Amino acid sequence: MLERIIPSTKKSLPVIGLGTSRVFDIKPTTELLAIRQNILDILLDNGGTLIDTSPMYGKAEEIIGRLIETYDRKKELFLATKVWARGKSEGEHQIKESFSKMHTSKIQLIQIHNLLDWKTQITTLRKMKELGEIEYIGITHYKADAFPAMEKIINNEPIDFAQFNYSLGEREAENRLLPLCADQGVATIINRPFMRAKLFSSVKGKVLPSWCNDYGIGSWGQFFLKYIISNPAVTNIIPATSKPKNMLDNSLAGIGRIPDSKIKRKMLEIL
Ligand SMILES: NC(=O)c1ccc[n+]([C@@H]2O[C@H](COP(=O)([O-])OP(=O)(O)OC[C@H]3O[C@@H](n4cnc5c(N)ncnc54)[C@H](OP(=O)(O)O)[C@@H]3O)[C@@H](O)[C@H]2O)c1
């Protein structure tokens, strides 16, 4: 799988990861847990490593914890969660809970979810980073109207990652945010790559253009992800899925040729 460099450490990160909002907020039945375990295996088998979650996603952190507690491949994972709290002590308590729910002593990245009380939470995260308790600090949002606030933080605070929405259907990040992250040495994680599956409805009944073969694009999922990958300021993308077959489909988007500007223009004509 294609890898991109995290500017602050120069370490590389495989470009396709996994989102867990809703799809990992499940009842821990043997059957549902086995499906999620299979999804993790497929992510790792195909070269991916990053799982993104949050205390906001119901049982998702707990489910990840149950899956990785005895997982012999736990060390291969790059775990990213968030702090979504107001106030110092509430934030610290929530972070402690994330480590405990996920049955891990190592969370690589903690992000400030939707910038909530970011001035307070960033101080906590900075201290944790200094102590070696986490490797990276990040901020997240999912709406373009938050981009000016994100840009201000990126310009003024030392952060490692910014996570935001970007897709063929929501392209605002191309204008300023992605170039700014590249300039400031901030790694990017792309959420809502399928606009929560809305993009699939917009191509319902359409067949993939024949030139897709030349770019190893074998599905609409790969089409949408390859468009995002073709932006060099993108470090990682976190499509969420509850299905092993879709995890494989998404992983395959991280392999093969990257669309050039001519192909990108053709991709835009699809919607
Ligand atoms: N503020 C924030 O920090 C924030 C906000 C939004 C999202 N996020 C993060 O970003 C992740 C991704 O965003 P999202 O969950 O909103 O939406 P998304 O990844 O754009 O879309 C997920 C939907 O796409 C479907 N899907 C996935 N792969 C597919 C494929 N190959 N073919 C067909 N359908 C496919 C999934 O259904 P199936 O289950 O059927 O595959 C699911 O319904 C979240 O899970 C979360 O981790 C963060």
Write the single-letter amino acid at 45: D
Protein residue whose Cα sits closest to atom 31 of ligand 1? 246
Sign of CA dihedral 143, 144, 148, 153: positive
Beta strands in 40-194 (DSSP E): 50-52, 78-83, 107-112, 134-140, 161-165, 187-191
What pLDDT is stored for residue 95 in this prediction?
A: 98
What pLDDT is stored for residue 24 in this prediction?
A: 98
pTM, whole model, 2 decimals?
0.98
Nearest-angstrom CA–CA distance, 243 and 239: 11
Nearest-angstrom CA–CA distance, 79 and 59: 16
What pLDDT is stored for residue 25 in this prediction?
A: 98
Residue 131 CA to ligand 1 center (angstroms) comes to 33
Report which ligand 1 atom has the smallest distance to the Cα of 111. Answer: 3
Model confidence over 121-166: pLDDT tens digits?
A: 999 999 999 999 999 999 999 999 999 999 999 999 999 999 999 9
Report which ligand 1 atom has the smallest distance to the Cα of 239. Answer: 19
Low-confidence ranges of the chain (pLDDT < 70): none
Residue 127 CA to ligand 1 center (angstroms) comes to 31
Nearest-angstrom CA–CA distance, 134 and 128: 6
Please tell me if the CB atom of residue 243 comes closer than 6 angstroms to any atom of ligand 1: yes
What pLDDT is stored for residue 148 in this prediction?
A: 98
Ligand 1 test: best mutation among 25, 43, 98, 191, most atoms within 8 Å of CB?
191
What pLDDT is stored for residue 129 in this prediction?
A: 98
Residue 201 CA to ligand 1 center (angstroms) comes to 14
What is the SS3 assignment for 142?
coil
Nearest-angstrom CA–CA distance, 33 and 214: 37
* CA dihedral angle for residue 80, residue 60, residue 42, residue 187, rounded to 10 degrees: -20
Protein residue whose Cα sits closest to atom 10 of ligand 1? 191
What pLDDT is stored for residue 48 in this prediction?
A: 98
What pLDDT is stored for residue 146 in this prediction?
A: 98
What pLDDT is stored for residue 187 in this prediction?
A: 99
Domains in the chain, start-ordered, CATH in brackets?
A: 12-201+228-256 (3.20.20.100)
